[in-house]
Amino acid sequence: MTDTTRFLMRMTLFLVAGSIAGALLYGTLVEAFMANPLLNGLILGVLLFGIILNVRQVIMLKPEAEWLESFQANATRAEETDGHGADATASQLSGSGPYLLSPMARMLSESRSRGGKFSLSAQAMRTLLDGIASRLEESRDLARYFIGLSIFLGLLGTFWGLLGTVASVGDVIRNLSISGEDISLVFNDLKAGLEAPLDGMGTAFSSSLFGLAGSLVLGFLDLQAGQAQNAFYNDLEEWLSGMTRLSSGANLGEGEHGVSAYTEALLEQTAESLDELQRILGRGEESRITGNQHFATMNDKLTLLTEQMKVEQQVLLKMAGNQKHLLPLLEKIGALGEALSQPQSSGMDDGTKTYIRNIDQSLNRLVTELTTGREQLVKDLRSEIKLLAKTVSAASGRNDASES
């Protein structure tokens, strides 16, 4: 968008050059200013206020341009992300909006609140640009008035000084008399009488000088402010022209009647509805693809879990077979233990009895560990099956939500 820095730089350089020229002519300007301090001070006050006003007009364009650049960046980001960045744009529009672009900001806010893409018809764009142009012209009216006011004050001082000069010359002529007097006295009276006309001429020329110089400075600053506003307006018009949608009646030749305003509005509403439907279908397709990816991932996990369950089942079968093989041996060992516990079995030595008792304890411990391991394996299988059921139900819930 428009860079206001270059216009502010031109204004600053011009004011610096004018200040340097005033410093070089300081003595002459002070002498001219003292010819009528009241009127000349008023002219300089108008000049100072006009300078501030013109600089303010250029500075006010910077936040407008920054706001528009920010909106363009957010709108571009929202289009790239297929509408997912519209929340940031809407929050920007709901905040403190600009002054010159306030009508367009309201239109953008309404368009974003509906979730649609911002677009304008040719007539709406022209109405919007006319409103912004009138606001720009209205902001420059006061600055132009100060240019005319500076010229008016200069002319007022000129006529004021000329009136004083004419009146003073008339008084000198009426009071001038050379009969019966010394010529030197008459000449001294003439010199004293001409001081008032000279003061009036000083007032006239000094006020004209300051008034014309002030109008020159304000005219250049107003020219730079106008160029800055025109550049901003042209950039805005170029951007809006890329977002303008031509109506169906714009291509009709002369003598043909375009469609009615109601039909045109209905067609525009239909086009916006189709665009919104297309965006909804696009988001639905994205949700479907994401759901398919989740189902594929879940299928892989289920396949892995099935393989693990098969392996665990084989382990359980092997453990059951081992237990079947151990059962006769345990029965024999139990019978042997009972035989040893009887008094008749006292024919064995103590070492053999101790060895057999240790074997019995080890086998009992092995049976306990096998039972505990089997129960823990069953618990693990139950927890994994519960986790699988929760995963399947959550995936089906997400799929139903995306389809709705």
229, 1 in Cβ contact below 8 A?
Answer: no
Residue 393 exposed, middle or buried by CB count within 10 Å (0-12, 13-18, 19+): exposed
204, 165 in Cβ contact below 8 A?
Answer: yes
Distance CA 174, CA 211 (A): 34
Count Cα neighbours of 202 within 13 Å in the Cβ-side half-sphere: 16
Sequential DSSP letters for 318-384: HHHHHHHHHHHHHHHHHHHHHHHHSGGGGGS-HHHHHHHHHHHHHHHHHHHHHHHHHHHHHHHHHHH
7, 171 in Cβ contact below 8 A?
Answer: no
Q: Which amino acid is at 44?
A: L
Tokens of 56: 């303010």
Residue 87 is predicted with a pLDDT of 47
Q: Which amino acid is at 320?
A: A
Dihedral of alpha carbons 63, 67, 69, 70, sign? positive
Q: How far apart are the first and last CA of the chain?
A: 43
Distance CA 33, CA 220 (A): 23
Q: Which of 217, 220, 215, 216 is nearest to 153 (CA)?
A: 215
**Which residues, including other chains, have CB under 8 Å from residue 244's CB and lie 6 or more apart?**
119, 120, 121, 122, 125
Residue 46 is predicted with a pLDDT of 92
Tokens of 74: 């957010």
**Which residues, including other chains, have CB under 8 Å from residue 339's CB and lie 6 or more apart?**
345
Tokens of 276: 């919104």
Residue 45 is predicted with a pLDDT of 92
Residue 266 is predicted with a pLDDT of 72
Q: What's the predicted TM-score (pTM) here?
A: 0.55
**Which residues, including other chains, have CB under 8 Å from residue 106's CB and lie 6 or more apart?**
97
Which backbone phi and psi does 100 adopt, to 5 degrees? Answer: -70, -35
Q: What is the pLDDT along the chain (404 residues), one digit of tens a residue?
A: 567 888 889 999 999 999 999 899 888 888 888 888 888 899 999 999 999 999 988 888 888 888 878 877 776 665 555 544 444 444 444 444 567 777 777 776 665 555 555 566 677 777 778 888 888 888 888 888 999 999 999 888 888 888 877 776 666 666 666 655 556 665 566 666 666 666 777 778 888 889 999 999 999 999 998 888 888 888 888 877 776 665 544 444 444 444 566 676 677 778 777 877 888 888 888 888 888 888 888 888 888 888 888 887 887 777 777 767 777 776 776 676 666 666 544 555 677 777 777 777 777 787 787 778 777 777 777 777 777 777 767 766 666 655 55
10, 224 in Cβ contact below 8 A?
Answer: yes
104, 132 in Cβ contact below 8 A?
Answer: yes
Structural domain spans, the chain: 5-246, 296-403
